[in-house]
Amino acid sequence: MAIAHYANGEWQTVAVTPFSALTLHPESKCFQYKQTILEGMEAFKTLKGRIFLFRPKENARRFNQSASRIAMHELPEELFVDMVKALVWVERDWFPRGEGSRL
């Protein structure tokens, strides 16, 4: 899991942690579907085994457009891309194999 906290007006250090249960405050925004961003980010593996992200900066921009529309703090594009890269790297062994596979 990739985790970044927002405090003091800025995004804090990113941590990639093993999959685990989450502890959530009852007022967490995730309990309100209206303040959720679903982004269609894709990664794919080449025949040589390299993993590439498909248009990560464009996905970051769309994510931030959605965040702005629902009054959430935007993520700097570089942080968004770094978080996705870190999570894909950690999960690389679980990456689907076969033609047309995507993560």
Q: Hey, what are 39's tokens?
A: 């982004």
- Per-residue pLDDT tens digits for 33-51: 667 788 888 898 888 888 8
Q: Which domain holds residue 99?
A: 34-103
Mean pLDDT within 65-87: 92
Whether 43 is in a domain gets the answer: yes
> What confidence category does residue 59 fall into, taking pLDDT thresholds of 50, 70 and 90?
very high
- Count of domains in the chain? 1
Q: What pLDDT score was predicted for residue 61?
A: 96
Q: Hey, what are 84's tokens?
A: 């996705």
- Per-residue pLDDT tens digits for 10-37: 888 888 999 888 888 877 766 766 677 8
The packing angle between helices 77-90 and 56-69, to 10°, is 120
- Look up the pTM and report it: 0.65
In contact, 63 and 71? CB cutoff 8 Å: no
Whether 60 is in a domain gets the answer: yes
